[in-house]
Structure 1
Amino acid sequence: MYSPPPDPDAERRMRAHHARAAAGVPAWLRLVCAPEDKASGKLWDGALDAQHVLGDLDGHRPALLGVHDAFDDGTAYRAELSGPRR
């Protein structure tokens, strides 16, 4: 589900980060943004923590292929690339 941010400039920056993170990789892409001081917790780190603890569960869970963080004008952005389920 895509919920655009209320600030058009934030949406523009998110789309730019999306394009850079997803370039040429056939994968699921998750994007999230938050004020820098709120970029933590389950919403922010859940997929990365699950990858470290569980891996891909023998193909039952998409493997996290990469995480890209960026910061711009007080906003934190995270793009997570996950492979398809086997």
Structure 2
Amino acid sequence: MKKCIVCKKDVSPENEINVYRNGIETDDVMHSACVDSEKYRECEYCGFGIVHPVKDLNDQSECPEHKGESNMDDEEREGWEDIIENMTKDG
């Protein structure tokens, strides 16, 4: 069984979170309860089960692979607004 890199306790496979560094998966793991530590956090786009060192995330909590995804140009934003409007309109 692997040890959590934050709390140093054994991590069962069902509670295992994979650690990435510089966008590359490592052999390190951590407990799901240790994810929001001062050193490791989730990327806004990678989803649950993957964490990155805080230093690898930008101000929008994006990892190197997803850098810039939160920045949309006007045309892209309008397209998404249209999609959301069509999905949420009544009836």
**TM-score normalised by L of structure 2:** 0.29
Q: Which has the higher helix share?
A: 1
Determine which structure has more spread, i.e. the larger CA radius of gyration.
Answer: 2
**Greater length-normalized contact order (CA 8 Å, ≥ 6 residues apart):** 1
